[in-house]
Structure 1
């Protein structure tokens, strides 16, 4: 097997490249979501309360928000393969630093460094995947890259959370460090060397940010997706404090949430390439119903588990459509649009964690985190209804270059 290839990839080579991309997103997703599963663990070890511990999760999300445009623009002329390799190095180092943090300030800094890589990784990864499967299937390409993230929620995050419960939370980040190193090797071996993946002049990428509709769509994404994190951030307390289940059921809850996201990602990828906005409206509309159910009767174990699955399923149905719409709004900067989409989703992470944490700190109880999610998603849908210009599905897709 050659370590790289300079021509258009064969099916086998293309599949290996997609596997490498998914492995990278698997490592990223495991790191991001496992932090929520071990929230109570590192809060206890570092001598802080749970609302304060959420600052480490918020720092990761802010790293993504800042790193997505900053790194993408700074590396605009880099070949997408080179960019992916550099980003995975940064991600791996950030997780190693996380495992060595001795107080909350160090952990916050390490999580911020780790988050810097995520947005640009998904932006560059979406371009490479689009090059492999064809630009007309941009929704499928993005869902393939994100598939590693959703699998991380089913397998990776629950597994390293389990390890953290038995070996200490530092072992969680050490495992993710190893995953990052493995993904780096796979990307080096299997990502194509191709002139079609060369970068763009920085002003071409930067010009995309002048479109008001791009920012409107990003704001919609941040608000609507925040409901995931208003719930997921506190999944441990939902399981143990609200439903009264033992702590060993937290990995099961994480897996069910991830399974819902994986299924929603598959459905959403297909809807995104066929319909302009159906996946987004259907997904977020159903998410509101699930969130209300969770808030009202989530204290019952069976309802809680089904609702967690439902939140992941419905919300993830919408995300590929957001990616496709952003690229159609700015077809000359697909890498930046992919990165900005991921920045929006991590702004949603910070917003959801903040809103849930504030409602808990105010003494409203765990159901208030779900009500916070309802308010955020409803606000995003309202902004979409009044502020986002419709873009037809027949708009020419972006090329793989970017």
Structure 2
């Protein structure tokens, strides 16, 4: 794999650290800002809001600047992310901090969207999904190393120190992109009108719906993993960090295997991953009561949940191949909608009195819905007549987008 992928992975590591470390640092942030922990929890939502807003808006801006090399676009996104975290580190008030979290989240989806396209182009065609998974490995490794280390650092030196370290990692990634990422043929990329035209594909909308529903199942569980481990499995509070690191190990393995599988059989790999998430979450409603079984299940959930990431990202780029950047970034907005929706529905189940393990059953239902949408899209694709299209690099390839879905509505 090209060494340039390391530069993309470093920025992904910084993004993953700042996104998830806030969950472990909420008590410190609440104390430092003199607010309650629930109020401090708004900072997680603020970051997600930034992602949802920034993914389409910044990607659309990049499309308008289609004469600017993709390498410089990536460096700009990394610089904006570093600036947002620097503002977080020096925030004088809670609302300033919330605004800074929105700014930090803005380039998240746009960076992964443009980075996924760049990673795919840097690798041979038959290794594109694995190249995308290498970039996303930075995000998953952040859950193994970055988040626990950031939490520990924040507990001893304050949460502002954690933000400053993230700034340093982001700047390092920016420099590495400048040095390692070459000029890409996709620098002669389509403008905004052509990027928006990709959304006429019904198969693209089905892929995004698959992510919102299916990945919502993963997040319904992940959002409440800490209380499940302490109050149901009866792990000590200090052990939760290790459990989360185990979750991160599963994510990393799933990301690698998912990329490998997607290069061989994209649609079957996606359907299998969603089905595995649904089955394992059903099992977790019972295994959460036994320590060793809970730990093993956490590992498998992380594996299955992140096996979806490279398959979903690659599928969307395939369905919007002539103009993939905006569509690819929109996947990240879809992931964050899945995060918000899954967390809300899981919390609603707990609030309704169904118990701390009820988010697992809610998540299983959402994952199975994602499996259903993915299966329908696959079936429509297989039944559709083959029509030629032009790939980003040049020659015609087979397009399999159903006649009923090509315009986004029944014909």
Q: TM-score, normalised by structure 1?
A: 0.87
Structure 2 equivalent of residue 211 of structure 1: 201
Structure 2 equivalent of residue 4 of structure 1: none
3-state SS of 1:116 partner: helix
Q: Give yes or no for the alignment of 1:118 onto 2:108.
A: yes
- Name which of structure 1's ranges 251-260 and 347-356 shifts more when overlaid on structure 2: 347-356
Q: Does the 8 A contact of 1:61 with 1:346 survive in 2? A: yes
Pairing partner for 1:82 from 72, 86, 90: 72
Q: Does the 8 A contact of 1:122 with 1:339 survive in 2? A: yes
CA 1:329–1:194 in structure 2 vs 1: closer, same or farther (change >3 Å)? closer
The alpha carbon displacement at 1:127 in A equals 2.0
The alpha carbon displacement at 1:237 in A equals 2.5
Structure 2 equivalent of residue 154 of structure 1: 144
Residues 321-358 of structure 1 show CA distances to partners (whole Å, capped at 9, x for unaligned) of: 22222122111112223212222112212222222333
The alpha carbon displacement at 1:164 in A equals 2.4
Pairing partner for 2:36 from 48, 55, 60: 48
CA 1:307–1:106 in structure 2 vs 1: closer, same or farther (change >3 Å)? farther
3-state SS of 1:277 partner: helix
3-state SS of 2:289 partner: coil
Aligned residue pairs total 386
Higher relative contact order (CA 8 A, sep 6+): 1
- Name which of structure 1's ranges 227-236 and 275-284 shifts more when overlaid on structure 2: 227-236
> RMSD between aligned alpha carbons?
2.5
The alpha carbon displacement at 1:232 in A equals 2.3
Q: TM-score, normalised by structure 2?
A: 0.85
The alpha carbon displacement at 1:138 in A equals 2.3
CA 1:113–1:364 in structure 2 vs 1: closer, same or farther (change >3 Å)? farther
Q: Counterparts of 1:246-325 in structure 2 under 5 Å?
A: 246-325=236-315
Q: Does the 8 A contact of 1:222 with 1:345 survive in 2? A: yes
Structure 2 distance, partners of 1:166, 1:247, is 17
Q: Does the 8 A contact of 1:56 with 1:104 survive in 2? A: no
Q: Counterparts of 1:1-400 in structure 2 under 5 Å?
A: 14-15=2-3, 17-43=4-30, 46-50=34-38, 52-76=39-63, 77=66, 78-101=68-91, 105-386=95-376, 390-391=380-381, 398-399=391-392
Structure 2 distance, partners of 1:151, 1:140, is 16
The alpha carbon displacement at 1:266 in A equals 1.1
Structure 2 distance, partners of 1:174, 1:295, is 39
3-state SS of 1:117 partner: helix
Structure 1 equivalent of residue 398 of structure 2: none
3-state SS of 1:366 partner: coil
* Bigger Rg, structure 1 or 2: 2
- Name which of structure 1's ranges 100-109 and 338-347 shifts more when overlaid on structure 2: 100-109
Q: Does the 8 A contact of 1:58 with 1:354 survive in 2? A: no
